[in-house]
Structure 1
Amino acid sequence: MFDTDALRLLDAVAATGSFTAAAARLNYTQSAVSRRIAALEARAGGPLFDRLARGVRLTPAGQALHHHARVVLNRLARAEEELAGIHGGHRGTLRVGAFATANVALVPGALRAFADRFPDVALTPVEGPSGGLLRRMREGELDVAVVSDYPAGLPYDEDVELTELVEEELLVALPRGHRLAGGAGGAGGEAVDLRELREETWIEAPSPGGTTMLAQACARAGFAPRATLRIAEWTGKFGYVAAGLGVTLVPALAAPAVPAGLVLRSLGEPAPRRTVSTALPRTPLPAARALVRLLAEAAGQ
């Protein structure tokens, strides 16, 4: 195998036509160039240069090896440029994880701003529950993630840097004709006392175990949910609410995705809340840091 220093020396001699000129270009002595070219020729199995009265000239074998050397050296130069771009934050690929409702508006808005500023960075979005995203980050599969402490909190991990992004209120989605809907769409209006919903059927995602945020909120209000329907996807939840089959909690981040047939209301104080955070590996890419700053700006808006 030919080492890259030997290939660079071969290229310099071929370009200058002289051991002496190549030595000056690479800051070698002329004798060092002669020894290294002799060693390269031994490895190549024969002469690479014809020694002339004035200078040297590539042999056919030298021309063949020089062609391949140029290909290798050019690829290495491009690799160096690409790595410099990755570490500088403006090239490469950024793998971005987020839980479902963060992908409604928060993450897409930040990714759009990031793509405008860093068009040479390829973005690879990944959606999943927060616990799974943190596991994938620990395993080196994600460069940055948006996670929440719902429903069971976020575990401490010395290899993951968590930074609080926003404390998010959970709203209640009601069908437009509901007695507490107030006759207007969208979020706003007077807050609803959670105890006024004690007789409602609640729609929430299946829970693999532990207490849900709905159960916690209802417990603080002094009652347990009367009945629940287990629907995993948000489109399904919204459809059930629109049909008058129940009500559901909706994170504020998901409010832009709520269809016109539903009404969002605050639950007053103490409203159920969850904390949304960004997660970075121990040694993050500069591009990941840049995206975190844009996520913070988007959350502030």
Structure 2
Amino acid sequence: MLETDMLRLLDVVARTGSFTAAAVELNYTQSAVSRRIASLEAEAGGPLFERLPRGVRLTPAGHVLHRHARDVLKRLDRAGEELAAIRHGTGGRLRVGAFASANAVLVPNALRDFRAVRPGVEVTLVEGLSGELMDGVREAAIDIAVVSDYFSDVALGDETEITPLMEDELLVALPADHPLAGGDVVDLRDLRDESWIAGAPPDGATTLGEACARAGFAPRVDVRIGEWTGKLGYVAAGLGVTMVPAMAVPAVRGDLALRRLGQFAPRRTVYAALPRPALASARALLGFLQHGQDGLFTGD
């Protein structure tokens, strides 16, 4: 097996045409260069250089090996550059996960600013529930994830780093002509007779059910839609009301009325989850996520 330093020596001798010049460039003795080249020739099965009165030149076999050596060395140099870029967070791949409403404004804005300063990083996106995303972080399938503690349990462990990003309040979305759309705050108890547009799955504890239980009633759910953007279409059509994360307010269609729910408003904490150790590029994106949430409505 040819070693990398032997291939580099071959390249320098071929380029300089001299054992002496190669020894000076590589800080070897001339005898050390001669011994190494002789060892390389023994491994190659024949002479690689013609010894001339002044210097050396490649044999046909030497030309073949030198050509392949240069290809290998170029590839290794490129690999070193790419590894350095990953270490410094300026290159490589960054796998980003987020739950659906985080992808409405928070994550896109952070990625826009991130790409402006680190265009060499290849970003891939994964959308899913917080529990699924946390699994991806722990299994090294995701490099940074935006997750919530409200809709699913966030499992913590020594191998995962959790950074709080924001407290997110849920609002109620009403048709623009709804009788309660005129005020700034809607008492959730005043919505007990409404038809609710809720998310999937249809059974088990839900954000809506828990909030309404605190207000003293069970919601009547006539339509279930998996994505929060789909719920808004049903609200705009006058088919019911729904809850909307405050962090997604800038992306909500303009023909709806968004109102706070006061004392019964559900809240959740939004986190960034990173594996330990984290990529430099993931830490850079974390900084943009932390600054990006400043411009969002958080219910405060």
Residue-by-residue CA offset, 1:80-104 (whole Å, 9 max, x unaligned): 1111111011111111111111111
1:131 corresponds in structure 2 to 131
Partner of 1:205: 199
Deviates more, 1:62-71 or 1:148-157: 148-157
Report the equivalent of 2:219: 225
Sequence identity (%): 63
C-alpha separation in 1, matches of 2:184 and 2:5: 74
Q: CA deviation at 1:227?
A: 3.5
2:171 corresponds in structure 1 to 171
Indicate which of 256, 259, 263 corresponds to 2:253.
259
TM-superposed deviation, 1:175: 0.9
- Of 190-199 and 10-19, the range deviating more from structure 2: 10-19
Q: In the TM superposition, what whole-angstrom CA distance separates every residue of 1:57-106 from its partner, at most 9, and x where no partner exists?
A: 11111111111111111111111111111101111111111111111111
Query: Does the alignment pair 1:242 with 2:236?
Result: yes
**Amino acid of the structure 2 residue aligned with 1:118:** R
- What amino acid maps onto 2:293 in structure 1? A
Give the Å deviation of 1:275.
Answer: 0.8
| Matched positions, count | 295
1:185 corresponding residue in structure 2: none
Asked if 1:299 is matched to 2:293, the reply is: yes
Q: Which residue of 1 aligns with 2:153?
A: 153
Cα distance in structure 1, aligned partners of 2:152 and 2:204: 7
In 1, Cα distance between equivalents of 2:207 and 2:228: 16
Kept in 1, the 8 Å contact 2:228–2:244? The answer is no
Cα shift at 1:291: 0.4
Q: Is the 8 A contact 1:145 1:278 kept in 2?
A: yes
In structure 1, stretches of 5+ residues that fail to align are 183-188
2:116 is equivalent to residue 116 of structure 1: yes
Q: 1:285 aligns with which of 264, 279, 296?
A: 279
Query: In structure 2, do the counterparts of structure 1 residues 79 and 142 end up closer, same or farther at CA, with 3 Å as the change threshold?
Result: same
Which ranges of 4 or more aligned residues in structure 1 deviate by more than 6 Å? Answer: none
Amino acid of the residue matched to residue 77 of structure 1? D
Please state how far the C-alpha of 1:268 moved relative to its aligned partner.
0.9
Q: Deviations over 1:91-137 (max 9, x none)?
A: 11111111111111111111010010111111112111111111111
For 1:100 and 1:236, how far apart are their aligned partners in 2?
12
Once the two structures are superposed, the pairs formed by residues 11-160 of structure 1 within 5 Å of their partners are 11-160=11-160
Alignment partners' CA distance in 1, 2:219 and 2:228: 20
- Partners in 2 of 1:36 and 1:253 — Cα distance? 65
TM-score by structure 1 length?
Answer: 0.94
Equivalent residues of 1:151, 1:211 under 8 A apart: no
Q: Paired residue for 2:298?
A: none
> Once the two structures are superposed, what CA deviation does each residue of 1:114-161 show, in whole Å capped at 9, x if it has no partner?
010111111112111111111111121111111111213311222111
Give the SS at the match of 1:269: helix
Counterpart code for 1:101: S
The Cα offsets for residues 181-239 of structure 1, whole Å up to 9 and x where unpaired, read as 11xxxxxx521111001111211111376411111111111222133422112232112
Q: For residues 155 and 209 of structure 1, what CA distance do their matches in structure 2 show?
A: 22
TM (norm. structure 2) is 0.94
- Which range is displaced more, 170-179 or 14-23? 14-23
8 A contact 1:200–1:226 mirrored in 2: yes
Structure 2: give runs of 5+ residues left out of the alignment.
Answer: 296-300
SS at match of 1:264: strand
